[in-house]
């Protein structure tokens, strides 16, 4: 009995996806539970597994196709022996081949009995036929050649187009993933709809660096995770949000929705673009819990294993361009949020301190905000509060 491969439910508000990559070809054997194809949504990558064993007889939606929930992707046929066509080689031994491989061989006049099989049990696959055909007296065509008709005069050597010189000016066409398309659309929409401004400040990281050096080993031994900078900034942001609650709000129509909970989005860079998993109730988390949660979410993001729930919501976002060497940037709002903090590279710079020039590890920080509900005074004061808390990290235990 044939088993249908259908697009599963993808999550709340997601109705379509893009076929990312098939892990199997037509004619390949499959086992129940084996991953067959990946579907890309604007938020996560979903793996579709086989609900039964057999042979992947048909692929109905190729890579790059747009599909909707419940749509048929392919069909798994029951794996059976085919006594009606017992092929044998010259020595009388039986030759097994996939249906696709057999049809391909028949179409192009290739002797399938002469092809060594690379599949399970020596089974001849479609790729085996293609490889064999490419080296045979009648190679399999790799692309269609237009037929010469009375209305299409044949090209002679004199009329052949001149070859294009290879001067190194090569171009490559890459299909945008659904996630990248969505990221692009949302960034443009955020800039179009919000009155976005950015204010800057700088933070002396000496105290945090010293605290981390003193407690790094004991912290890891006790909690099983490193003590990074992100937990300090998360705590500092929460302390500043409590003092300036409009930064933890959003606009709905003609109303301002102020949120008295703190779900902090942490931007994570992946091969497919930036994603922002959310730390729920971050104000209730310890330093160790924050570091552990960020480490886990970042790992899952880079393995494309985040769920829809991991990415939904969020009241404020932190992004760290410093890990790539950025000294200063203007982060774009993660709509419908009205504030985002940008961290940057720590760099030793000369600064004036108590009338003297000293060298300090400094970080520029940026706050982009929606000027529709946040005035400059609040934005600047918010960033100053973050600076004060990070420069005096012991205060984070009380105010964070």
Which residues are designated catalytic?
371, 375
Residue 117: Cβ within 10 Å count: 18
Instruction: Give the SS3 label for residue 398.
Output: helix
- Residue 223 burial class via C-beta count within 10 angstroms: exposed 0-12, middle 13-18, buried 19 and up: middle
R_g of the chain, CA atoms, integer Å: 30
Residue 291: cis peptide before it, omega within 30 degrees of 0: no
- Give 116-172 as a DSSP string: PP-SGGG-B-HHHHHHHHHTSSSPPPSS--PPP-TTSPPPPTTTSPPPPP--S----
Question: Which tokens is 238 given?
Answer: 């929460």
Read off the tokens for 283: 């104000």
How far apart, in whole angstroms, are the C-alpha atoms of residue 382 and residue 159?
Answer: 72
Using DSSP's 3-state secondary structure scheme, residue 59 falls into strand
Task: Please state, in angstroms and rounded to a whole number, the distance separating the CA atoms of residues 330 and 367.
Answer: 8
Task: Please tell me the total number of residues recorded for the chain in this structure.
Answer: 400
Give, as one character, the DSSP assignment of residue 177.
P
Print burial letters for 234-251: b (CB count within 10 Å at least 16), e (below 16): bbbbbbbbbebebbbbbb
């Amino acid at each position: 009995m044939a088993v249908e491969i259908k697009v599963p439910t993808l999550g709340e508000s997601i109705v379509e996806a893009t076929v990312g990559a098939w892990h199997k070809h037509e004619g390949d054997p499959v086992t129940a539970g084996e991953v067959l194809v990946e579907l890309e949504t604007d938020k996560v990558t979903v793996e579709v597994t086989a609900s039964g064993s057999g042979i992947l007889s048909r692929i109905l939606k190729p890579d790059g196709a747009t599909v909707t929930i419940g749509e048929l992707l392919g069909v798994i046929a029951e794996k059976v022996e085919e006594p009606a066509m017992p092929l044998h080689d010259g020595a009388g031994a039986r030759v097994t081949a996939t249906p696709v491989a057999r049809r391909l061989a028949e179409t192009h006049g290739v002797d399938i009995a002469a092809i060594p099989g690379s599949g399970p049990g020596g089974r001849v696959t479609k790729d085996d036929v293609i490889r064999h055909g490419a080296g045979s007296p009648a190679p399999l065509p790799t692309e269609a050649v237009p037929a010469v008709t009375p209305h299409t005069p044949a090209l002679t050597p004199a009329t052949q187009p001149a070859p294009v010189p290879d001067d190194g000016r090569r171009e490559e066409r890459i299909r945008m993933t659904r996630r990248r398309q969505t990221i692009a659309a949302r960034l443009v929409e955020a800039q179009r709809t919000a009155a976005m401004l950015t204010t800057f400040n700088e933070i002396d990281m000496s105290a945090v660096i010293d605290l981390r050096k003193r407690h790094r080993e004991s912290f890891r031994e006790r909690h099983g995770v490193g003590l990074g900078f992100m937990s300090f900034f998360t705590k500092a942001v929460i302390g500043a949000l409590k003092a300036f609650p409009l930064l933890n709000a959003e606009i709905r129509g003609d109303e301002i929705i102020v949120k008295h909970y703190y779900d902090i989005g942490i931007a994570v860079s992946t091969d497919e673009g930036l994603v922002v998993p959310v730390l729920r109730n971050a104000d209730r988390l310890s330093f160790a819990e924050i570091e552990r949660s960020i480490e886990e979410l970042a790992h899952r993001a880079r393995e494309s294993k985040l769920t829809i729930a991991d990415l939904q919501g969020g009241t404020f976002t932190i992004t760290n361009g410093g890990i790539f060497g950025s000294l200063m940037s203007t982060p774009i709002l993660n709509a419908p949020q009205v504030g985002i903090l940008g961290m940057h590279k720590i760099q030793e710079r000369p600064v004036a301190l108590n009338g003297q020039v000293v060298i300090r590890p400094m970080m520029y920080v940026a706050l982009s905000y929606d000027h529709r509900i946040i005035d400059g005074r609040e934005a600047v004061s918010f960033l100053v509060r973050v600076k004060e808390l990070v420069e005096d990290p012991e205060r984070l235990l009380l105010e964070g």
